[in-house]
Amino acid sequence: MKQYETVIGLEVHVELATRTKIFCGCSTEFGGAPNTHTCPVCTGMPGSLPVLNKKVVEFALKAGLATSCRINQYCKFDRKNYFYPDNPQNYQISQLYLPICHDGSVEIETSAGKKTVRIHEMHMEEDAGKLIHDEWEDCSLVDYNRSGVPLIEIVSEPDMRSAEEVIAYLEKLRCIMQYLGVSDCKLQEGSMRADVNLSVREVGSDLFGTRTEMKNLNSFKAIARAIEGERERQIELLEEGKVVVQETRRWDDNKESSHAMRSKEDAKDYRYFPDPDLPPIHISDEWISQIRSSLPEFREEKQLRYQEEFGLPPYDAGILTESRHLAELFEQTAACSVYPKKVANWFMTEVLRLMKDQGMEPEQIRFTPQHLAALIDMVEKKEVSGKNAKLVFEKIFLEDTDPVAYVQEHGLKIVEDTGLLESTVGRILDENPGPLAELLGGKDKVMGFFVGQIMRQMKGKANPDTVREVLLREVENRR
Ligand code: ADP
Ligand code: MG
Ligand code: ZN
């Protein structure tokens, strides 16, 4: 069999996290009772007029500048005409001729190393409503809450060659958008959606094959399976001497196969024309430079800085910077602690562990940075045992408890009361003549048993080093 190469380009829709819709004042909030976030504009009533939400342009500019795009400082909206019940105006307001951003790129990293994926363009548009097919009542219902929610569509060049590259690209876009705060990019909730354009060609050929477009992909796993399935389907056709038809296909992740939805439509099928209700947009140099200077420190820069500043291995620095929220919480905690490296350890172990146990997203973590810093301080000063500190941290993590007060109230502070410690050691030795004999006979392993017993009696409020010292002394006295 011949050797084939897969060629993939993506169209990614990202829902922007503005408070209100793109052309009216309705809420963009996800969910809500059907048709409660609606008005004459977003339900396409005759005579209603759209008014552009400036925040949408600002967010699109942020996304464009963060992906090294060039900006069309004079840009316009166009009407894309098609009939479908989730589209009440019978056209979607989008951008065709002068999209806001073009010619950008992002760098991705896969097991094969670094690679650049070029972005052809990025345009603003409105989302459609949602059809709900009620099989029980045998009818379809429509909810316009999503109608008019702002989107940017990011169109890549056909630069990707594998599912691994596609996923790295999507993760990169998601990370950038989340750092910018312009979208939460949740595939499951549909705030990030990817259409996969795929063709195959013989290795060595410099011509592209005919592509198909796959829709309905709502997880990275589904995307990977769809790519594999479509690649095989196309290769099989070519091997049989048939041709690939340019069409839109729907991937059914349960059946792990796709079927044709419709033949591919061209721009001319949509009868695009400039929207007469919306004036062109002029984007000033000042606005661009203002947005450029407001861009945050992104993940890669943070990752490098963490390695230098906190001596973290690249892997750890990668984990701590995956979410901007987690990274900022870590930085704030490190900033108010005299043990910043210990703070990094606590995040890598306890914070991540509790997050996983609680099934939480990083964005849901809410504790006061000073609280964890104060706890670490007590541990380092040997005022609380490591074991108790973990219990106290659970309280901080779940209820944002003040650790100093908590340790005081629950009597968890290590007491350097050597009188109490000495009598406890003596008593434990008396109660365990067998192990004591073994210890005197030179069996050092029994030390661990005694330290454990004593720590338990002291309810963890003793410093293990001191326990060890006192224990050795008492044992010597009994020789
Ligand atoms: P349209 O607007 O008609 O959907 P475009 O030419 O703008 O078509 O391309 C849409 C997407 O398809 C882009 O992401 C592009 O990279 C990708 N694409 C174009 N040609 C191919 C091809 N032969 N193989 C794979 N992907 C392709
Ligand atoms: Mg397209
Ligand atoms: Zn509205």
Are 306 and 334 contacting, i.e. CB atoms less than 8 angstroms apart? no
Report the residue among 197, 214, 243 best suited for mutation to probe ligand 1: largest number of ligand atoms under 8 A from its CB.
197
- pLDDT of 296 reads 97
Mean pLDDT for 36-61 is 97
* pLDDT score of 265: 73
- Position 262 confidence tier, pLDDT thresholds 50, 70, 90: confident
Torsion of Cα atoms, 129 then 130 then 134 then 138, to 10°: 50
Distance from residue 37's CA to the centre of ligand 3 (Å): 7
Task: Tell me the per-residue pLDDT of 323-334, one tens digit each, with 9 for 90 and over.
Answer: 999 999 999 999
Q: Which of 62-66, 219-223, 254-258, 343-347 has the lowest mean pLDDT?
A: 254-258
How is residue 193 written in tokens?
């959606």
What does DSSP assign to residue 90?
A: S
What the block records as the tokens of 141 is: 């219902």
Q: Which residues surround ligand 3, an ion (CB under 5 A)?
A: 24, 26, 39, 41-42
Higher-confidence residue of 372 and 252: namely 372
Find the 86 Cα to ligand 3 centroid distance in Å. 14
Closest CA to 194 of 225, 209, 179, 216: 216
Cα 424 versus chain centre, distance: 52
Residues with CB under 6 A from ligand 1: 7-11, 155-158, 197-199, 208-209, 211
pLDDT tens, residue by residue, 162-207 = 999 999 999 999 999 999 999 999 888 889 999 999 999 999 999 9
Mean of the per-residue pLDDT values of the chain = 93
* Phi, psi dihedrals of residue 260, rounded to the nearest 5°: -70, 135
Confidence at residue 150, expressed as pLDDT on a 0 to 100 scale: 98
Q: Where are the beta strands (DSSP E) in 231-368?
A: 247-252, 257-263, 273-274, 281-282
pLDDT band per the 50, 70, 90 thresholds, residue 310: very high
If one residue of 211, 212, 262 were mutated to test the ligand 1 pocket, choosing by the most ligand atoms within 8 A of its CB, it would be 211
The pLDDT value recorded for residue 301 is: 95
pLDDT score of 421: 84
**pLDDT at 420 (0 to 100):** 83
Atom of ligand 1 nearest to the CA of 157: 16
Q: How far is the CA of 155 from the centre of ligand 1 (A)?
A: 8
The answer to whether 459 touches 421, Cβ cutoff 8 Å, is no
Rounded to whole angstroms, how far apart are CA atoms 417 and 175?
Answer: 52
Residue nearest to atom 24 of ligand 1 (CA): 199
Side chain identity, residue 75: C
The pLDDT, as a whole number, for residue 232 is 96
